[in-house]
Amino acid sequence: MFDEILQKMEAAIAVLMGLIRAGHPLCGTASGKDSTCATILMLEAVRRVAEKGLAQPAHYISSANTTIENSSLARHIETMLEEVDDHAAAHGLGVTTHIATPSLAMQFVVSTIGRGTLVRTVENGVRAGKRTRACATDWKLIPQGRLRAALERDATARGDREICTVLGNRIAKSASRGVAILARAESATAPTRDANDALSISPLRDWSVDDIWLMLTMFADEAKRPFPCAFSVRSIERLSDLCRAGNDGMCGVVLGESGQRTACGSRFGCVFCCVVGDRDKSLESMIREPEHAYMAGLNDFRNYLLATQWDLKRRELVGRSLNSAGYVRVQPDVLSFRERMNVVPKHSTD
Residue 89: is its pLDDT beyond 60?
yes
pLDDT value, residue 345: 64
**Domain extents for the chain?**
3-118+130-242
pLDDT value, residue 175: 85
Q: Confidence band (pLDDT; 50, 70, 90) for 267?
A: low
Q: Which CATH class is domain 3-118+130-242?
A: alpha beta
Give the pLDDT mean for 55-77.
94
| Distance between start and end Cα atoms, the chain | 62
Specify burial of residue 263 (Cβ count, 10 A radius: 0-12, 13-18, 19+). Answer: exposed
pLDDT value, residue 323: 87
Closest by Cα among 61, 74, 46, 268 to 147: 61
The 3-state DSSP class for residue 208 equals coil
Q: Confidence band (pLDDT; 50, 70, 90) for 137?
A: confident
Q: Confidence band (pLDDT; 50, 70, 90) for 256?
A: very low
Residue 104: is its pLDDT beyond 60?
yes
Residue 144: is its pLDDT beyond 70?
yes
Q: Return mean pLDDT, the chain.
A: 89
Of 53-67, 120-134, 249-263, the one with minimum mean pLDDT is: 249-263
Instruction: Render pLDDT for 168-224 as a digit per residue (tens, 0 to 9).
Output: 999 988 888 898 899 899 999 999 998 888 999 999 999 999 999 999 999 999 999
pLDDT value, residue 133: 73
Residue 347: is its pLDDT beyond 60?
no
H-run or E-run covering 165: strand 164-166
Q: Confidence band (pLDDT; 50, 70, 90) for 92?
A: very high
Q: Confidence band (pLDDT; 50, 70, 90) for 135?
A: confident
Query: Under 8 Å CB-to-CB from 316, ≥6 apart: which residues?
Result: 116, 332, 334, 335, 336, 337
